[in-house]
Amino acid sequence: MKKVIWYVLHNSPEIDAYMNEFESERPDSDMQQEFPRWFETKLGKLYTTNDPSCTPDLFALACGPSSTATSVNSCVVNGVKFVVHSRDVKRTTQNSGICSPGEKEGEMYYGQLEEILEFAYTQFKVVLFRVKWFDLAKRGLFKALEGYQYALGFRKAKFRELAMDVRKSLHMNTGEGESSYANNSFLQETVILKTLPVLKHAIKDLFSHDPAFIQCFRIADLGCSSSKNTLLVAFNIINIVDEACKENDRKAPQFEVCLNDLYGNDFNNIFKLLPDFYAKLKKEKGENFGPCFVLAVPGSFYGRLFPDQSFHLVHSSYSLHWLSQVPEGLEDNRLNIYLGKTSPPNVFQAYEKQFDMDFTMFLQMRSKEIVHGGRMVLALLCRSMADSTSNDSGYKWKLLAKTLLDMVEEGLVQESDIISFNMPLYFPCEDEVRTIILNEGSFSINKLDVFQGNWDPYDTDYTNMKDSNEASQIHGKNAANVVRAVSEPLLASHFGNSIVEEVFMRYGKYVAEHLAKKKTRYYNLVVSLTKL
């Protein structure tokens, strides 16, 4: 236990000042052996005098953990599930691999997760990993921490800093198969076409207010994904710019199109489409038009992506409802995988807070990257009312949770896996989006509008409630494929690949039953902004 206490203290930067004080007072003392007791005494005195510097977390660190630890087979850190090797060997996907930077620059240790221990402090829990390390050069076991193998520690308050990022698991289904995003993105295409008038107005308004000649019109499409929709957006924008230039008696500029998405995005699929894209431009616009340069920039749009004042137009469609991470503090969400009727108030607050932080950060980053007077057009899923569990936002995830719970009853899925899984997304209402934009202050709102679309994007009849059983099954399968195309990588990473087919076959039936009773619709929001 002494080694555990020291390891946690040694990896808590908030007590560095106390460690420096101890070294000054006792330069010849053994830090590892004597500091924990000194620190406990020091904080105890501060606590009894109500010193404000003695925060609850510091006092908890000083008091140490409970005397016994809980051994668990898995844990979730920042949306990523870690599984001990003994359980992982039976699975198709492997989550028991660990890597950790060494003390030297560029040095990395790689190992296998053998045990997960949870230690309870009064204010938080600490998770320690016992890891079997490997020396890749010698292809043999490497005891990196001799005599003490608990090599990685995660305190819940610091998950965002220390854990693997959910961004590595979040991407659309790759390839061109039946369940791929490329073949199940008609919903997203419909949204792109629906928002085209807003995009056209933003671009034409930009050109009417900026008489200066733009030699190269720079466009960023954030969360571009990997279907034909990606280049459809670019082509639409180029068409509108060309039209605006003709209306203002100006020559069309050159174009630079930066396509952005997370690292797991199937950029190769986009590259395969580029020859046809360039050929179409040349055919419709002529040999002397442009030219147009298309670039791919992987990374999270919740951080900086480009140099200052790089772009005239930023576009994002159906991406901003995805969060940068699973919100913290969802332990009480139990058998929900998103916000549900049984979710406690703190879970709703955690999701709202995460979206507020993420969207604010997105606006702050773009404000640095867009030129003064530049435009931004954003489309995202939202909800129609204040109730976060309304059918137009959270109900499809309730049906997915119901599917997984059925499989728990049959022994196909472990209940603990559902408890530890939450979707990293949030569907805001109009007022939330408007308030965050106004509070951040870098952009003015030109237009904020909403529109709806069926769960099955191929079903254009929004009122017929007398579909045949066959038609209902088709609607259910189409709607389930939309959800599968965007969520399968996350589900496979957490639950394993082996259950995916069964999950979505059952899920499609639940969706079909629901749509036979009520044709629930997606609620979409589009907002046009100008950089102040």
The whole-number pLDDT of residue 21 equals 87
Higher pLDDT, 95 or 487: 487
Q: Which two tokens stand for residue 39?
A: 């620190």
Q: What is the DSSP letter of 498?
A: G
* CATH code, 181-531: 3.40.50.150
Q: Is the pLDDT of residue 378 over 90?
A: yes
CB-based contact 363:532 (threshold 8 Å): no
Strand partners, 110: 99, 134
Q: How far apart are CA 80 and CA 422, in angstroms?
A: 10
Query: From the centroid of its chain, how far is CA 157?
Result: 19
Q: How confident is the prediction for the chain on average, in pLDDT?
A: 78
Q: Which of 61, 51, 47 has its CA nearest to residue 5?
A: 61
Which of 293-302, 337-346, 409-418 is predicted least confidently?
A: 409-418
Cβ neighbourhood burial of 82 (10 Å; 0-12, 13-18, 19+): buried
Which of 193-197, 282-286, 371-375, 385-389 is predicted least confidently?
A: 385-389
Q: Which two tokens stand for residue 197?
A: 């008038």
Give the total residue count for the chain. Answer: 532
Q: b/e per residue, 452-461, with b = 16+ CB within 10 A? A: ebbbbbebee
The whole-number pLDDT of residue 438 equals 93
The whole-number pLDDT of residue 152 equals 47
Q: Is the peptide bond before 56 cis (omega within 30 degrees of 0)?
A: no
CB-based contact 304:368 (threshold 8 Å): yes
Orientation of helix 56-63 relative to helix 31-48, angle to 10°: 130
Higher pLDDT, 104 or 295: 295
φ, ψ dihedrals at 504, nearest 5°: -80, -20
Q: What is the DSSP letter of 472?
A: H
CB-based contact 502:361 (threshold 8 Å): no
Sign, CA dihedral 299-302-303-304, equals: positive
The whole-number pLDDT of residue 139 equals 44
Q: Is the pLDDT of residue 145 over 50?
A: no
| pLDDT band at residue 155 using 50, 70 and 90 as cut-offs | very low
SS3 string, 372-434, reads: EEEEEEEEEEECCCCCCCCCCCCHHHHHHHHHHHHHHHCCCCCHHHHHCCCCCECCCCHHHHH
Q: Which two tokens stand for residue 503?
A: 């999950």
| pLDDT band at residue 375 using 50, 70 and 90 as cut-offs | very high
Strand partners, 297: 260
Strand partners, 258: 220, 295
Q: Is the pLDDT of residue 490 over 80?
A: no
List pLDDT tens digits, range 391-431: 566 778 888 888 888 888 877 877 777 787 788 889 898 89
Q: What is the CA radius of gyration of the chain?
A: 26
CB-based contact 521:452 (threshold 8 Å): yes
Q: How far apart are CA 174 and CA 20, in angstroms?
A: 51
Which of 80-94, 299-313, 372-386 is predicted least confidently?
A: 80-94
Tokens 């997984």, located at residue:
404
Q: How far apart are CA 259 and CA 298, in angstroms?
A: 8
CB-based contact 254:293 (threshold 8 Å): yes
Q: How far apart are CA 474 and CA 496, in angstroms?
A: 27
Cβ neighbourhood burial of 382 (10 Å; 0-12, 13-18, 19+): buried
Q: How far apart are CA 424 and CA 322, in angstroms?
A: 6
Tokens 């408007």, located at residue:
434
245 to each of 284, 288, 317, how far by Cα in Å?
Answer: 16, 15, 25
Angle at 229 between CA 338 and CA 250, to 5 degrees: 130
Tokens 């571009």, located at residue:
224
Q: Which two tokens stand for residue 206?
A: 């930009």
Cβ neighbourhood burial of 441 (10 Å; 0-12, 13-18, 19+): exposed
CB-based contact 379:318 (threshold 8 Å): yes
Domain ranges across the chain: 1-63, 69-158, 181-531
List pLDDT tens digits, range 186-245: 677 777 888 889 999 998 888 887 656 678 889 999 988 877 777 888 888 998 988 888
List pLDDT tens digits, range 305-329: 888 989 999 999 888 888 888 888 7
